[in-house]
Amino acid sequence: MNDSLAPEAVAAHVRGRFGKPYRFEPDCESTQLLLVGSGLGEGAVVATDHQTNGKGRHGRQWIAPPDSSLLFSVMLHPPAERHLPELSLVAALAVAEAVEGATGLTAQIKWPNDVMLNRRKIAGILCELFDGVVVAGIGLNVNQTRDELPLDAPTEPGSLRTLTGQTYDRAPLLGSLLFRLERIYDGWRHGGLTDLYGEIGARDFLRGRRITVDGEAATALQILRDGRLEVATGNGHGTTRAIESGEVLFER
Ligand code: BTN
């Protein structure tokens, strides 16, 4: 497979604003760090084949062997009136749609920022705010074999390869993801989650599952129209509440 994320391989697959400019580094510490403070406009992308200190949520590392996956960050300049925590769901929907386009399988969104395929986490999203701009980092496991996936991840990981038995050319997948992200993000810029809610709700992985949120037991009810997660807490008195952020673990 001629699988490369070099600009000459990716350019043919960049169809819109997102991915322009496109910077590729064969190796870097973290693509997040390369966009922060760069002053680049909305849609600028930094991608790499390997991160030496990939950033995950909750202070974790995001680990992937060289050339195995999509590791990239996108610059976003969201309008002040939008609710920024919703951006993780916006990006997750774009990843889910791109994965569905490539595999023909339905992907799900595990609130607030993971993408699941066949109950395995295949992608994580890290949105970081700096001086009014958001750097949205996406890691999508593509061609890792089973033994190349992290053993100690809190949510069991998978890759498109482990879950479908096929390998995937990463450049067209990146192009498809950026194109979908642009369309979904533009919809969100214009009207928030309103028009996206149906697509997000239909892929809600946690709905009805027993979970813990930051250690507290609950049942996930649904992703709400404002992007929060509605949960029923375990006291049997019908108490529900909406959660803005947190680490969610689920029972199998
Ligand atoms: C998570 O913890 O689930 C979020 C992981 C986000 C990883 C991506 S890989 C590309 C970008 N650069 C980083 O250092 N992190 C994000």
Cis-peptide, bond into residue 112, ω within 30° of zero: yes
Nearest atom within ligand 1 for CA of residue 72? 10
* 89, 102, 113, 126, 244 from 154: Cα distances, Å: 20, 26, 14, 16, 20
* 219 Cα: distance to centroid of ligand 1 (angstroms): 27
Tracing tokens 């979904």 back to the chain, one arrives at 184
Nearest atom within ligand 1 for CA of residue 60? 2
**Structure-block tokens of residue 222:** 């649904």
Nearest atom within ligand 1 for CA of residue 124? 3
User: Which residues form the pocket of ligand 1, taking CB atoms under 6 Å from any ligand atom?
Assistant: 30-32, 51, 54-57, 60, 62, 71-73, 114, 124-126, 137-139
Tracing tokens 């067209």 back to the chain, one arrives at 172
Query: In this structure, what is the dihedral angle of CA atoms 33, 39, 41, 43, given to the nearest 10 degrees?
Result: 0
* 125 Cα: distance to centroid of ligand 1 (angstroms): 6
- pLDDT at res. 238: 72
* 248 Cα: distance to centroid of ligand 1 (angstroms): 17
* 65 Cα: distance to centroid of ligand 1 (angstroms): 14
User: pLDDT means per 10 residues in the chain (252 residues)?
Assistant: 87 97 98 95 98 95 97 97 95 98 98 96 97 96 97 93 98 98 97 95 96 90 95 79 89 74
- pLDDT at res. 234: 67
**For a substitution probing ligand 1, which of 55, 170, 247, 248 has the most ligand atoms within 8 Å of its CB?**
55
* 157 Cα: distance to centroid of ligand 1 (angstroms): 14
pTM, to two decimals: 0.96
Question: Which residues does 48 contact at the CB level (< 8 Å), separation at least 6?
Answer: 5, 24, 25, 26, 27, 28, 31, 71, 72
Identify whether the C-beta of residue 116 lies closer than 8 Å to the C-beta of residue 205: yes
> In whole angstroms, what is the distance from residue 112 CA to residue 211 CA?
13
- pLDDT at res. 1: 54
